[in-house]
Structure 1
Amino acid sequence: MQSRLVALGCGALLTLLMVTVPGMLLAVDLPAPVRLVLARIAPMMAAKEYSKVAAILEPALNASETRHAELAFALGNCRMLRGDRSGAIKAYDQAVSLDPGHAHAWLNQAKAAYETKQYREAGRCFAKGYGAEQGKHPENLYFSAAAYLMAGAHQEAIASFDRLFAAHPKSIKPEWREQFLHALMDDGQSKRALPLIRDLIARSAGEEKTRWQELLLSLYMRLNMTAEGATFARQLIDQQPDQPRWWKALAHIQLAANRHEDGLSALVGYSMLTRLSNQESRLLADLYLQAGIPAKAVPLYSRQLQDKADGQIAQRLVMAYHQMDQPAKALEVLARFRNLEREPRLLMLQGETCYTLKRYPEAAASYRRAASLNGTHQGQAWLMAGYAAMQAGDLETSSRALAQAIRFDKEKKAATLALSHINQQMVR
């Protein structure tokens, strides 16, 4: 945006400098002393003798009979052409002080301020110039908004854009809408940006249209407008059913709204059109498991586990086999997992699975190995180790495990009761 504005601004500036200054000679409403000064400097300006011009204009502006806005404006132009932008700004400021309706002085001051990176001041001067021209040139109001945007003055930029869109609805260019959109989003007014994005979608095509469609979907997500986002995503799918990005967007929107079954359906559609990343494959497997379709989750988890020994994936694969009532398969997964002895949650699952299969000695051993690892699980692990050993008839081992479980507040009551029961049996 910055380079575009500078290029347009400089082009307009040269036009004003070349046309306005000689034109002053024809302005019959100027005081005679002022016309004489302008006539004197005209050939010097044409010859680019800017130092001589300045030497005439500077003292003329200090004299009461020639202290006039047109001479201050001419001095500003002279300094601008010499590359003295700071000096030009002072001269233009004097011109608009003498004549607040001097549109060209306001606009040249705006351009000089912009080129010296005084963006907020440039925005103010562009707006003043637009007003002095009675709104004949909407691009100057756009320059005002864009300069404010460069200054980070989002509210002033939005006010200029609002004024521009209200006064010139038929003159608005696509890039103006885009800059207005950025101003609104930068100011946290994303909801106000929605109609602009919809309009940009309607006016664009190809990749540009796709970019606006994706932005609209992301804004629906950000604003928690999931119903609107889902409706729009479905419309895009109807228009382009072979485009994976719309299926993916719909999946994310549905999941954000906790509509997991709808999210699963969209993600399945996405998976049929493109190869899933590891993260996407994991999400699809989790959704299958959550939806009670473990048979679909198992191959996805199995492939992921082959690539990486991930404890969470192993745990979910075991849970999937449990849902399928295949505990033996679950034990096979755990037996193959090379990091099992460092994963207390998997050892607990192994113990639970063995307990379900009434393989009590193995269950007790798994629970004891889990209990040997630090963590919040330890009390429960010792308690279950005691129960499993009790079921196996190994009362001494059960007693030792339950004695450990008593040390933990949550398990103390249950462990004490179980230990009392064992002691009574051992006495008999």
Structure 2
Amino acid sequence: MRRYFISMCVLVFFLCVSQVCAQASSTGPCPDEKSLTPKAKTALAEAQKLITEKKMTQAGKILTQFVSQNPDENHAFVTYTLAACYLDLDKLESALKQYEKTIDFCPVYAPAWQNLAKVCFDLKFYNRAGMALEKAWDLTGRKNHLLRFQAAAAYLSGKEEQKALPILADLCSGKAGPPEDKWVKLFVQISMAEKQPQTALKTVERLLGQPDPKAYLFRLASGLYLDLADYRKAAQNLEAYGLIETLNRQERKLLADLYANLGIPALAADNYQVLVTAHPCCGLWERTAACWFEARDYDKALKAVQKGLEAFPLSCRLWRIKGWIHYEHKEYRPAAQAFGKASGLDHNDINSLFLHGLCAVGPGTGLRPEKPLNRWHAMMGIKPGHWGLSMKWMRKISDHYAVAINHRVENAKSL
């Protein structure tokens, strides 16, 4: 069974960076505006005015000069605002140092941790960005779940899947409220990539058990069951998804292949028929005809064969299926001709060569079987006229065909 992969989603990482002092955002005793000296307040006021006017370079110079001239009067608000200036000017290394100083002054200042994460992410320090975001989430009362999701995104960008997975599992557990769709999709994606589909499947099945589940959950469940090699449940969930949303070509092909491999040819043929109608190709006509034939719907099989041969007359497989259809109807002359065409297109197709000769023996064909049977005898290394071995070969072909058909019919009944 061909494994079906869900493509890796693009992680978009964006943090809103405050360029003002944001005193109200602090959850701890610092930074404290009261502890600002008059000189520091004056420098910040001048810098803030320039920031409002989008004059970041001048604002940065004022704060840098203040820090240089008054090293003992440095403050978290000063370094935080200076960091914002550097960040706006895309001086990431300088911004990083100032955010680090801000955190040294005030370790519980959540905006500083959040903006530190932004800078670290831009500098590709992904693991550190993730840790900073988790710290910001913790300092803001563990209620801003977007910060946790962004932390997981940062870890994933740094190829730290094992750090991201527990965060995503917790976000999707329901503890943080109803999970967002993007959380669930990413959780499933990473669980499959880390070969832990069973973990994500429990979450998806729980969500599917709730009233009015969203359609995408059936699609995710199908992919997870496919990853677990439970092809029947993979097909069932993909079929359910198709009842709500229109399957794209790739999904329709997957569903058809699943049914074909499960031995449910009628349902496979239905889906191949949709595909081949929209995008005719030789392989799809062959699969459609073969599945209708295995489902014992010989009329639909013949129609598929005829349409396929109109476009692809050199398809050995379509001619062979045509021969079997006529053989089932005891129409030995057209059966012999079809098998003869198949063996002529593929000189290694000894079964079609043998059936060409066998059907030519049938009543009322008016055909001579000697030539194909003698060729078959020569290919098999059997002396001409040794009909005992010929009949044994025919029984072998017929028995194999009958077992395959009956197996697929029973599978269809048990669906």
Question: Do they fold alike, i.e. is TM over 0.5?
Answer: yes
Identify the residue that residue 326 of structure 2 maps to in structure 1: 321
Deviation, structure 1 residue 342: 4.3
Does residue 290 of structure 2 align to residue 286 of structure 1? yes
Partners of 1:247 and 1:269 within 8 A in 2: yes
Identity %: 17
Identify the residue that residue 149 of structure 2 maps to in structure 1: 142
Deviation, structure 1 residue 230: 4.9
CA separation of 1:37 and 1:364: change in aligned 2, threshold 3 A: farther
Alignment of 1:165-204 (within 5 A): 165=172, 169-170=176-177, 172-194=179-201, 195-196=203-204, 199=207
Partners of 2:83 and 2:98 within 8 A in 1: yes
TM-score by length of 2: 0.69
Does residue 53 of structure 2 align to residue 51 of structure 1? no
Does residue 121 of structure 2 align to residue 111 of structure 1? no
Q: What value does the CA root-mean-square deviation take over the aligned residues? A: 4.4
Aligned length: 362
1:131 counterpart (132, 135, 138): 138
Matching residue's letter, 2:324: M
Alignment of 1:9-88 (within 5 A): 9=15, 12-14=16-18, 17-20=20-23, 27-28=33-34, 30=35, 35-36=37-38, 38-46=40-48, 47=50, 48=55, 49=58, 50-58=60-68, 60=70, 63=71, 65-66=72-73, 69-88=76-95
Partners of 1:110 and 1:123 within 8 A in 2: yes
Deviation, structure 1 residue 128: 1.5
C-alpha offsets along residues 178-211 of structure 1, whole Å, 9 cap, x if unaligned? 3334333433333333334874897999xxx555
C-alpha offsets along residues 46-96 of structure 1, whole Å, 9 cap, x if unaligned? 224311311322565xx5x44665554344234223331111112222333
Identify the residue that residue 372 of structure 2 maps to in structure 1: 366
TM-score by length of 1: 0.67
Deviation, structure 1 residue 302: 3.4
Alignment of 1:178-327 (within 5 A): 178-194=185-201, 195-196=203-204, 199=207, 210-232=215-237, 251-258=256-263, 260=264, 263-265=265-267, 267-268=269-270, 271=273, 275=277, 277-278=280-281, 279-292=283-296, 294=298, 296-308=300-312, 309-327=314-332
Matching residue's letter, 2:45: P
CA separation of 1:273 and 1:138: change in aligned 2, threshold 3 A: closer
Q: Name which structure has the greater RCO, CA cutoff 8 Å, separation 6+.
A: 2
Partners of 1:363 and 1:385 within 8 A in 2: no
CA separation of 1:76 and 1:150: change in aligned 2, threshold 3 A: same
Partners of 1:264 and 1:284 within 8 A in 2: no
Structure having the higher helix fraction is: 1
Partners of 2:231 and 2:262 within 8 A in 1: yes
Partners of 1:110 and 1:126 within 8 A in 2: yes
CA separation of 1:387 and 1:217: change in aligned 2, threshold 3 A: same
Identify the residue that residue 402 of structure 2 maps to in structure 1: none
Partners of 1:120 and 1:148 within 8 A in 2: yes
For the residue of structure 1 that corresponds to 2:384, the secondary structure is helix
Matches of 2:224 and 2:39, distance apart in 1:
60
Deviation, structure 1 residue 225: 2.7
Matches of 1:25 and 1:97, distance apart in 2:
11
Does residue 356 of structure 2 align to residue 353 of structure 1? no
CA separation of 1:201 and 1:158: change in aligned 2, threshold 3 A: same
C-alpha offsets along residues 217-241 of structure 1, whole Å, 9 cap, x if unaligned? 343333223443455456567x669
C-alpha offsets along residues 126-167 of structure 1, whole Å, 9 cap, x if unaligned? 112222333243322222122223333222222233444569
Identify the residue that residue 409 of structure 2 maps to in structure 1: none
Matching residue's letter, 1:41: A
Matches of 2:228 and 2:360, distance apart in 1:
48
Matches of 2:115 and 2:246, distance apart in 1:
53
**Structure 2, unaligned runs of 5 or more:** 1-8, 391-415
Larger-gyration structure (1/2):
1
Matches of 1:341 and 1:280, distance apart in 2:
19
